Structure 1
Amino acid sequence: MKTHYHKALLCTTLLLLTACSGNKNEEVNDEGVATVLPTTDNEVTVEVLKQRAFNHELISNGKIVAGGQADLRFETSGVIARIYVKNGEKVFKGQKLAELDKFRLSNRTAQAKDALEKSKLELQDVLIGQGYPADDSSKVPADIMKLARVKSGYDQSLSQYELAQYEEEHATLTAPFDGVIANLFSKPFNAANTSEVFCTVVGTNGMEADFTVLESELSLIQSGDRVFISPYSDAASRYEGVVTQINPLVDEKGMVKVKASVNGKGRLFSGMNVRVNVFRSLDKQFVIPKSAVVLRSGRQVVFTLKNGQAKWNYVQTGLENAEEYTLVGASQTDEIAEGDTVIVTGNVNLAHEAPVKVVGKGDKVKR
């Protein structure tokens, strides 16, 4: 009898504990569900899909090349008397750069001038001997004048004088255009080597960027397109230019060479490695921000706003720049069309037909 009493008491206790534990678990589960499920709608920003101009951006690497570059050398041998410039110095067209010792050259010019004067007198004597006036060559027949000039040695003396005069003048190097001095390594009082470059003048006003584009991108670039150049040595700087040449040949690697003129403002140097951004404006494109496109199962998805809910739409993007995509066939499909309200932010964790709340918009929207 006592044993039955104890068994009944034990069963009663277990039932009470089970009931209490069940109530506690239900409370915990209720609290967990309340914590996981959102109590408010997803907050999103939106904009209306419409056609507008799209700034297509093409990115490439290139090098800066001087639009004007001249290797200067002395055309006659001699000792370098003076050097007036140094590497990195800005020069202007016609500015004197260096000159040779001109004593021998001046002496040679003077001798050639004297020989020319003597030949001139000989020419007059020949003409007088032929019965023609020496002071009026217009009355002398052309064949007689030619014979007289050869006989007197006048033509030979004239060419020697002009050569001596030319060498004396070119014993002084001058800048052919505005630019900067480079590769100047000679020193005064040393002999000039006519076979080697004395210095190089690099033009700074007409810098060019040489870069390449893929054959598949050739249709997206044309002469006149805007470019922005950023040197890798100073990525924060940007210089504007335009595409000037597209080489009509594709190399064995499938690349096409392009040239763009750039206003370097005197800060770009020939040979610099640069990043090239080519921009071209394309009209009547459906454009959306990159933030509006999310991936679902490896496919591109854009959410639209309809009746306070997010609607899931598969899309295909086309061209892109740093911030935007174009949509392919947006006006020909039932998925998404012009005038739809596109969710551009707050869409990362959205599901189909999830309730949303608009907190910002880029344009007048349809609710």
Structure 2
Amino acid sequence: MRKIINFFWRRKILLAALLIVIAYGIWSFIISPKKDVRLSYQVQKGTVAEELVLTGQVKAAEHAFLSFQSSGELAWLGVAEGEVVKKGQRLANLDTKIPYETFESAVAELRGTQASLDNVYDQVQGHATDESFAQRDLRTSAEVRRDKSYRALEIAKKNLSNLYLTAPFPGIVSSVTYPFTGIFIPLSQGVIEVVNPDSLYFEVSADQTEVAQLKNGVKVKIILDAYPSEEVDGVVSYVGYTPISGEVGTVYKVKIAFTEAYDLTKFRVGMGGDAKLILTEKENVLFAPPEFISSDATGKYIFVGPQKKKVYIETGIEGEDRVEIVSGISAGDTIYD
């Protein structure tokens, strides 16, 4: 019987302790009045910029996915992923045995028809003004055969060149679809991807209301998602004249060139980020953080001094974290939120 009584007493004590803890928490965080903590800021002069923030990604002006203009067996592969290549360097080729034989036959055929034509020219020499029909027929037939063989050689030469892939610009091999030989490559199948890291730029899309504010030369601060604490300087180098096809609404391409050296080991094609386009910028002007500025029916105002006097102000350009103060307060004034 005593054990049962003790058990119930323990439960009552635990329940009472729990209620006390809950009551204290309610009092501390809800009922008890909070202290009036207000942030302050001393007005100063500096640079204020009106910015337009657009999302985009890194691209390369020199970026190509190379493919053969003919089908055939991959006979030679001379590069691997990550390898640096020069402009015009041979990268790979298909089996050239039969096309090369055709090319050699065309060379021999041209030599034969050219020799025949030279022989005919010797026969009709000195008859430029009194050439007979028979002589004209002989000369023309020889010229036609020579011309046909020349065109056949050019075709054979083109067909042979279609079996080779060369680097269109200096850069890095970023991908190789088939890193081995002996496989059949269909016509126009992408084989080797080459990108020139020195040609990187940042591209964003702007709608018709935004693009009206942009022009070549606008300064830009670029922040990549991969490196959120780093800013890279840039400048608008191209604003599209026609809308991007396939987009919802009227959207234009805007290219931003990097104006400072970037780390080739860090930047990659396809990296996303934000571009802060500086539309207007003023130096050595009064400014205040936007969170200290309020407004009512009369206008914009700010709380000044320890007494938090309400002072109406006139503002100028507005940036993301700074607002220009044209009149109403002076440098050194302390304002409160």
- Does TM, scored on the shorter chain, surpass 0.5? yes
Structure 1 residues 342 and 296, CA gap change in structure 2 (3 angstroms): farther
Name the % identity. 20
How far apart are 1:288 and its partner, in Å? 0.4
Aligned to 1:261: 257
- Cα 1:265–1:168, aligned 2, differ >3 Å: closer, same or farther? farther
CA distance in 2: counterparts of 1:341 and 1:231, whole angstroms: 35
SS at match of 2:267: coil
Q: Which residue in 2 is equivalent to 1:288?
A: 287
Q: What is the CA deviation profile of residues 132-180 of structure 1, one whole-angstrom value per residue up to 9, with x for unaligned ones?
A: 59xxxx99x9xx9998365341111112222223333443211101223
1:284 deviates by 7.2
> 1:96: which partner in 2?
90
Deviations 1:11-54 (A, max 9, x none): xxxxxxxxxxxxxxxxxxxxxxxxx9xxxxx99764466xx753
Partner in structure 2 of residue 210 of structure 1: 203
Find the counterpart in structure 1 of residue 21 from structure 2: none
After TM superposition, give the deviation of residue 311 of structure 1 in Å: 4.3
Give the alignment's TM-score, normalised by structure 2.
Answer: 0.70
Alignment root-mean-square deviation, CA: 3.9
Residue 188 of structure 1: how far off its partner (Å): 0.6
State the one-letter code of the partner of 2:236: V
Partners of 1:171 and 1:113 in 2: CA distance: 18
Residue 117 of structure 1 aligns with an amino acid whose one-letter code is: R
Q: Tell me the distance in 1 between the aligned counterparts of 2:192 and 2:90.
A: 13
* Contact 2:50–2:320 (CA under 8 A) maintained in structure 1: no
CA distance in 1, matches of 2:89, 2:101: 25
AA aligned opposite 1:320: E
Question: Hey, what does 1:365 align to over in structure 2?
Answer: none
2:53 is the alignment partner of 1:59:
yes
Instruction: Show the counterpart of 1:201.
Output: 194
- Structure 2 spans left out of the alignment, 5+ residues: 1-34
Residue 274 (structure 1) shift: 1.7
Per the TM alignment, residue 210 of structure 1 is displaced from its structure 2 partner at its CA by 2.2
TM-score normalised to structure 1 length: 0.65
Q: Distance in 2 between matches of 1:176 and 1:150?
A: 42
Residue 82 of structure 1: how far off its partner (Å): 1.6
User: Is residue 161 of structure 2 the alignment partner of residue 161 of structure 1?
Assistant: no
1:268 shift after superposition: 3.0
Q: Does 1:178 pair with 2:176?
A: no
Q: Which has the larger radius of gyration?
A: 1
Asked whether the 8 Å contact 2:113–2:142 carries over to 1, the reply is no
Work out the CA distance in 1 between the residues paired with 2:136 and 2:269.
55
The alpha-carbon distance between structure 1 residues 171 and 252, as it changes in their structure 2 partners (threshold 3 A), is closer
| 1:272–1:47 CA distance, 2 compared to 1 (3 A) | closer
- Alignment check: 8 A CA contact 1:292 1:344 kept: no
Distance 2:108 2:151 in 1: 13
1:285–1:326 Cα contact (<8 Å) kept: no
* Aligned pairs (5 A) from 1:294-305: 294-295=293-294, 300-303=300-303
Give distance in 1, aligned partners of 2:224 and 2:138: 67
Deviation at 1:286?
A: 4.7
Assess, with a 3 A threshold, how the Cα gap between structure 1 residues 197 and 56 changes in structure 2: closer, same or farther.
same
Verify: 1:127 aligned to 2:121, yes or no: yes
Q: Is the 8 A contact 2:220 2:276 kept in 1?
A: yes
Separation in structure 2 between the aligned mates of residue 77 and residue 61 of structure 1, nearest angstrom = 41
Give the structure 2 partner of residue 271 of structure 1: 270
Which runs of no fewer than 5 residues in structure 1 stay unpaired?
1-35, 37-41, 349-367
Distance 1:268 1:104 in 2: 44
Residues 62 and 292 of structure 1: CA distance in aligned 2, closer, same or farther (over 3 Å) = closer
User: SS of the counterpart of 1:82?
Assistant: strand
Describe the SS at the equivalent of 1:205. helix
Matched residues in 2 for 1:287 and 1:146: separation?
Answer: 93
